[in-house]
Amino acid sequence: MGLDLSEKILVDYNDVFADIMNVFLYDGKCVIKEEQLENSKDITQYKADGRLHEQERDVSKYYNGKEMRIAFLGIENQNYEDPFMPLRVISYDGISYKNQLFNNYRKKQKPYPVITLVLYFGTKPWSAGKSLYEVLEIPEDLKRYVNDYTINLVEVAFLEQEQINLLQSDFKILADFLVQKRKKTQYIPCEDDITHVDELLKTLKILTGDKNYLKILKKLNKNRKKSKKGRISMCEIYDQIFQKGVQHGKEIAEKERKRADSERKHADELKEEIKKLKKLLKENHISF
């Protein structure tokens, strides 16, 4: 995974979560509403090697309709490839179905589907297996008895512009950034306002390793306490990063100028000392 708690919170916001699901499940149609989502802490336990272990989804929510629960939706964040991702997903989904089996048996309710999206933030194509068939070693004569299970993989950095345009939340800004980074073109910031500034900038810091995002965030939080300014866009953030970069460049240039001046001064002083020494040797008729 690689994304810590503060970065998961971006996707955990109902507006971002609903936006992601609407684009990748319903092709951009506004089917799932924020108010129809209910948080779920999907922590389960299992026993292995004689010990009790816990497994937890990155983000999971119940999707409730007007009169019934429609689905259980989960998101797994990945900034690197996991060769066993299909096994992980089927274990998460299987536990969710098992919980339904227990609860619905008592309440005599009809089970609802479990859907998991894997959001991959890498800038290289996913080359690991996407299904059980690609992960398992299955003898040919047994293959027809082994059910396949394919993950719903979203390679964020490889989204088409049409898909990015369908996004309405801060996830659009993140996706646009990753696509431009993957193409290695000069980054043109998105003009959309950022709703969840803290979480977005921390996510960008994790994905890029650039500490400037946290420095800008600290400055923004300080300024907002004073001015109570509302939303901000990536254009403004990159203006500050650029200005910071220019200032840093000026500081480096100034240090380099001072170093060069010091070296020239030292060289001039050395030449003067050599000149004095030659004069002294000559006056005392000492050859060299």
Query: Does any domain span residue 119?
Result: yes
The predicted model gives 39-64 an average pLDDT of 71
CA distance 135 to 140: 14
pLDDT band at 287 (very low <50, low <70, confident <90, very high): low
* pLDDT winner (highest mean) among 133-137, 225-229, 238-242: 133-137
Residue 156, token pair as written in the block: 């964020």
The predicted model gives 121-150 an average pLDDT of 95
CA distance 98 to 11: 25
CA distance 176 to 233: 13
Q: Are strands 114-120 and 69-78 parallel, antiparallel or unpaired?
A: parallel
Q: Looking at the chain, how many residues does it have?
A: 288
CA distance 185 to 161: 15
Compute the mean pLDDT over every residue in the chain, rounded to the nearest whole number.
83
CA distance 58 to 5: 9
pLDDT band at 270 (very low <50, low <70, confident <90, very high): confident
Is residue 160 predicted with pLDDT exceeding 50? yes
Phi, psi for residue 72 in degrees, rounded to 5: -115, 120
pLDDT band at 69 (very low <50, low <70, confident <90, very high): confident
Is residue 67 predicted with pLDDT exceeding 80? no
170 closest CA partner among 2, 13, 3? 13
Is residue 70 predicted with pLDDT exceeding 50? yes
Query: Does any domain span residue 149?
Result: yes
Minimum mean pLDDT range among 36-50, 82-96, 114-128, 207-221: 36-50
Is residue 189 predicted with pLDDT exceeding 80? yes
Query: Does any domain span residue 233?
Result: no
Query: Does any domain span residue 41?
Result: yes
Percent pLDDT > 70 in the chain is 77
pTM of the model: 0.78
CA distance 106 to 149: 28
Percent pLDDT > 90 in the chain is 48
252: exposed, middle or buried (C-beta count within 10 Å: 0-12, 13-18, 19+)? exposed
DSSP 185: P
Residue 42 has a pLDDT of 61
Q: Which residues are CB-contacts of 194 (< 8 A; sequence separation ≥ 6)? A: 170, 173, 200, 231, 232, 233, 234
First to last CA, the chain: 72
Query: Does any domain span residue 73?
Result: yes
The predicted model gives 232-248 an average pLDDT of 69
Query: Does any domain span residue 247?
Result: no
- Cα-atom radius of gyration of the chain, to the nearest Å? 29
Among the residues of the chain, which ranges form H helices?
A: 5-12, 14-26, 85-107, 132-135, 161-166, 170-183, 197-208, 212-227, 234-283
Query: Does any domain span residue 54?
Result: yes
Higher pLDDT, 263 or 132: 132
Residue 181 has a pLDDT of 92
Q: Largest alpha-carbon pair distance within the chain? A: 117
**Residue 28, domain extent:** 5-186
Is residue 165 predicted with pLDDT exceeding 90? yes
Query: Does any domain span residue 125?
Result: yes
Residue 51 has a pLDDT of 63
CB 217 within 8 A of CB 202: yes
pLDDT band at 269 (very low <50, low <70, confident <90, very high): confident
The predicted model gives 208-234 an average pLDDT of 75
Structurally, how many domains does the chain consist of?
1
